[in-house]
Chains A and B, each alone.
Chain A
């Protein structure tokens, strides 16, 4: 394997994990809640590409649309799902002053509900589906084989991270969101509408999850009703590594875990590769031993009225 190919792989996985971590980090920043249902937003978006059936080779549904329409449709589906879960499972609890622990349990409930819903509708058997065949074929650039999907993933990651940063920094709603993340009660005292800010934050995580599901399905070509679970766990770990409550930290954590994971894959002796994730998470523990508050420490978790 060539170094440049590994580097592209590493950046690609890093970008994917960074997008995952942003979704978890954004909601945590504002609500102090870990939304584990985020994984199922990804799964739901992936399954929306196909027609429900018990078959292992899926018939495409939205996955058959022209690319722009497919992207928009999946984003619409997942954004609506994210907003709906907030309305039904989180907002009523928030109004009753539920603790973050209660919200966390509620997010587990939503997570398992959606998993089992998908299991019921689409059956539990993994399905193969090919949505963007032209993206899988490798590009031959000066003797290197680089899959288009990896370049698309890196570019998408860069564009979305930049877009989110611009949104937070330069729009009124974005600044309200940053203020809410720093001190929600004070933001509300100034007239920032809590429900609106949170609904928009959920819509953004829905958008991120939709894009992630498209990237993952385009690359792997497999649907599984638990496919979102490892992604949400990585996202959670990335936000902790980066520093809970810090969005740059979440992005950094995502890139680091993705890149380290690819590095292990490339550098570990062949017989140890099966234990790659054991090495990965051992490294996570090590990082936390030295930086228990993550790489970028956020004061967001402390200062509140």
Chain B
């Protein structure tokens, strides 16, 4: 599962939200995109998942262009987005939400097996299986949103601010779930506004501001980079190739 994005440009109306971003994610990696509010991070993920149109540029998955495809087709290619705010279906049950995650799959028997496995990993979801998803707490909803994405058997998970609005203790739990999944071989591209957390959990980080990538590199290298804060707050010039 190799994702390669080149010179991606996204407009909302006449406003450019993303202005020529290039990045890549290799199989098994956990890559974070960090940066201040309004940097274009969410737009980036939405565009990869096909939820918003791109103005120009290319998005390739294992060498094949997926840019400009409809979201349901991209889901079938093995990419799942857990959007900001989770967007679980409040008026459906937890179980129905999970089955919906498997909408791109055909074998009902396999789907039931996966549901069982997810219930083992996240027992709270089994307890609440028949409850309306809207009645779950924020942390439970986030678990449900991630579990729902897993039901697709996607190999690449795009998570937008998985810690948003959660209590610190719960955030810890969510990141534990993510690192468990990572050990099982999944690839992650995560948008995380907190630079500390981004550096903490990821292999590599892209720092984005005002629609461009300001700097990027291995998290272990960047952690000791004194200019990183300037990049985060958009004080350094953008490098044209986006490689920092």
Q: Which residues of A are in contact with B by a Cβ distance under 8 Å?
A: 172, 175-176, 178-179, 182-183, 185-194, 299, 303, 305
Contact = CB atoms under 8 A, between A and B. Distances in A.
B85 A188 contact: no
Given A188-B72, A191-B76, 18 more contacts: A172-B99, A175-B92, A176-B100, A183-B89, A185-B51, A185-B71, A187-B100, A188-B51, A188-B75, A189-B50, A189-B51, A189-B81, A190-B104, A193-B72, A193-B103, A299-B91, A303-B90, A305-B51
Contact of A191 (B51, B75, B92): B75
B148 interface: yes
- 8 nearest interchain CB pairs? A191-B104, A191-B75, A191-B103, A188-B71, A186-B87, A192-B103, A182-B89, A189-B71
Interface residues of B, number: 29
A194 B81 CA distance: 17
Contacts of B101: 190
A189 B91 contact: no
A269 to B, nearest CB: 45
A253 to B, nearest CB: 19
Nearest to B83: A305
9 contacts: A182-B92, A187-B89, A188-B70, A189-B80, A189-B83, A190-B152, A191-B104, A191-B152, A299-B91
A176 B70 CA distance: 17
A188 B152 CA distance: 12
Contacts of B100: 175-176, 179, 187, 190, 192
B49 interface: yes
A182 B91 contact: yes
B70 A179 contact: no
Residue in B49, B96, B103 with the greatest tally of chain A CB atoms within 10 Å: B103
Contacts of B49: 189
A299 B134 CA distance: 12
Contacts of B71: 185, 188-189
B92 A179 contact: yes
Contacts of A172: 99
B43 to A, nearest CB: 12
A232 B87 CA distance: 33
Interface string B60-99: 0000000000111001100011010101011110001001
A19 to B, nearest CB: 23
Contacts of B46: 305
Residue in A182, A186, A192, A193 with the greatest tally of chain B CB atoms within 10 Å: A186
A179 B87 contact: no
Contacts of A305: 46, 51, 83, 85, 87
B236 to A, nearest CB: 32
Nearest to A194: B72
B124 to A, nearest CB: 21
A189 B96 CA distance: 16
Contacts of B83: 186, 189, 305
A297 B108 CA distance: 35
